């Protein structure tokens, strides 16, 4: 069976222009940054030591970029649990500091039903005050439901 035969787009397949969100994540407290550093191996003092952050010109340690990026998977799954991220790229535009959160939004840029269902999503994360902190693009594929 080919992918096209085994994975047809559902009748309610999203169309270009469909909006996703918003959904809030955080705030990311300092203890969450410490836990993330321990499991990820990213123990850069900038994220863990308020004095190192201050020396870099920041009021507080910045949240790990990959920690924030990890929020996109539950964001997409909360919208459509029949999708999975096949590719994700992002630009980090400004820091989010310890104690702050992000708001995720998305929009379908392109939608393809054949030969296998795929969406290209524009994803954004806004920080406090609504300023853009992450601009991302994701290719998501349909996960066929098993019986």
Distance of CA 130 to the CA centre of its chain: 16
Higher pLDDT pick, 126 / 116: 126
pLDDT higher than 50, residue 122: yes
- Domains of the chain and any CATH numbers: 16-27+63-142 (3.10.129.10)
Residues comprising the chain, all counted: 147
pLDDT single digits (tens) 129-143: 999 999 999 999 998
DSSP code of 130? G
pTM, to two decimals: 0.88
Structure tokens at 84: 């999975």
């Amino acid at each position: 069976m080919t992918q096209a035969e085994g994975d047809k787009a559902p009748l309610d397949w999203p169309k270009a222009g469909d909006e996703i969100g918003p959904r809030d994540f955080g705030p990311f407290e300092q203890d969450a940054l410490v836990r993330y550093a321990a499991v990820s191996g990213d123990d850069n003092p900038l994220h863990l030591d308020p004095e190192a952050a201050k020396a870099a010109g920041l009021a507080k340690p910045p949240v790990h970029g990959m920690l924030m990026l990890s929020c996109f998977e539950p964001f997409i799954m909360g919208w459509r649990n029949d999708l999975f991220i096949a590719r994700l790229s992002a630009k980090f535009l400004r820091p989010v500091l310890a104690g702050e959160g992000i708001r995720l939004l998305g929009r379908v840029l392109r939608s393809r039903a054949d030969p296998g269902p795929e969406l290209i999503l524009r994803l954004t994360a806004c920080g406090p005050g609504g300023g853009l902190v992450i601009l991302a693009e994701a290719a998501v594929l349909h996960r066929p439901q098993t019986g």
